[in-house]
Amino acid sequence: MRINKKIFFYAVLILMIASFIEVSSYLMGKYRENRVPVYKPIIQNKYLCESYLKNHDPVLGWPAPINFGKNGDRDYSGSRIIPAFSNPINSCISLYGDSFVWGADVSAKDTWGNILSKLTNCRVSNYGVPGYGTDQSYLRFHQNLKDNSRIVILGHLSENILRNLNQYRDILDPFFGFNFKPRFVIDTNGSLKLIPIPKFSIKELQEAVKNPKSYLKYEYFLRDSILDRIRFTFPYTISLVRWLIDRIPEKLANKPDWAKFYNPEDPSQALLITTKIIESFHKEALLRSKIPVVIIIPTSYDLIYYQKNKEWVYQPLIDSLNDKGIFPLNIGMRIIDYIGNGDFSKLFINRFGHFNKEGNKLFAEIVYSHLKGKNIFNKP
């Protein structure tokens, strides 16, 4: 009888401990859902799906061209409003990239593109789009045949190497929401192959959100090994352990999450894909009689890592582009030249956000100095 009571006692104790661990893992997992990629399907109703299919850009994903010139953010050419030179007919420089090119979290007059317009005394059209990968930025340039700028600048944010592997933004960034995008892969001949946005019916779109793996064959972050990392399901303790195993080595090294994708040996081929996208932009710009300029933009995570380790996580991309005869401007190095080992947070909205007014001003001055130093304004 005593033995049975003892067994019962320990069984209850183990159950209580296991329950406590499982509940704790659940709470920790819910907390980290707001900080790292975790896909939780949000079933869209018929009205939202109809609206998406009607208004999305079938090639780029977003923004909806129907809104150009109507919502106060963009003029009819699709550029962000440029207060210094509001007429979009003639531009000397055009910018392509993501939210760091767009100038998120500051007013139109305080964006580095508008400040660059003042420094050059000519219009700088800003075709940056928040949330874009380098792939979409290049495709926007490719489609924008009315762009009459002589100089075209492609901005690659270090984090964008992840977006270049992504088809459904909600998987990579739960805060970004309901948007699909194109991506490139490497075909059997070693060339870039465009994977367009799938064409959905309303029913298919609802199913794709519910079960994206069945519809998005080229979504890297739904591969089995990756899915274990981003899927947060019961048993939550095992989900959390998988996540910790994946994340701890990089966190101990203080590396940004995207650092490993710059490794030439990474199975995603992210470095090769990104190199070829930028190379395609460079070649096409030359064919269109334009002067291409590539800039590499760091996040604050990259700056923190460089200050501690004196190396850029995206250096393999710079090296790869150099091998192709493309010599990008590393904005990070110029920021370090300016700030040294000081506190660069004064350049950002918050420690891990976009550039603030001062950061945009420095950004514009860096780009202007580069263009002037390379005598780009006087090139035939």
Span 9-34, pLDDT tens digits: 777 777 777 677 777 766 766 555 54
Query: For the chain, which domains are there?
Result: 46-375 (3.40.50.1110)
- Amino acid at the residue 223: R
> Alpha-carbon distance 272 to 324, whole Å?
12
Span 127-155, pLDDT tens digits: 999 999 999 999 999 999 999 999 999 99
Contacts of 106 (CB under 8 A, 6+ apart): 349, 354, 355, 356, 357, 360
User: pLDDT tier at 8 (50, 70, 90 boundaries)?
Assistant: confident
**Helix (H), strand (E) counts: the chain:** 15, 7
Let me know: does 297 contact 100? Beta carbons within 8 Å. yes
28 vs 92, residue with greater confidence:
92
User: pLDDT tier at 35 (50, 70, 90 boundaries)?
Assistant: very low
pLDDT at 112 over 90: yes
Helices in the chain by DSSP H: which ranges?
Answer: 2-33, 46-55, 99-102, 112-120, 134-143, 160-163, 169-172, 202-210, 224-230, 236-252, 270-287, 300-309, 315-323, 331-339, 357-373
- Closest by CA to 168, choosing from 155, 187, 156, 183, is 183
65 prior amide bond cis, ω within 30: no
- Closest by CA to 101, choosing from 285, 293, 306, 280, is 293
Q: What is the pLDDT of residue 249?
A: 58
User: pLDDT tier at 172 (50, 70, 90 boundaries)?
Assistant: confident
Q: What is the overall mean pLDDT for the chain?
A: 88
> Alpha-carbon distance 303 to 310, whole Å?
9
User: pLDDT tier at 184 (50, 70, 90 boundaries)?
Assistant: very high
Let me know: does 279 contact 233? Beta carbons within 8 Å. no
207 vs 367, residue with greater confidence:
367
Contacts of 64 (CB under 8 A, 6+ apart): 55, 56, 57
Q: Cα angle vertex 175, ends 53, 362, to 5°?
A: 110
Span 36-54, pLDDT tens digits: 445 555 656 888 889 889 9
Let me know: does 144 contact 281? Beta carbons within 8 Å. no
Q: What is the pLDDT of residue 173?
A: 80
pTM more than 0.75: yes
The residues with which 152 forms a beta bridge, in sequence order, are 94, 292
> Alpha-carbon distance 303 to 314, whole Å?
11
Contacts of 200 (CB under 8 A, 6+ apart): 53, 208, 215
Span 272-325, pLDDT tens digits: 999 999 999 999 999 999 999 999 999 999 999 999 999 999 999 999 999 999
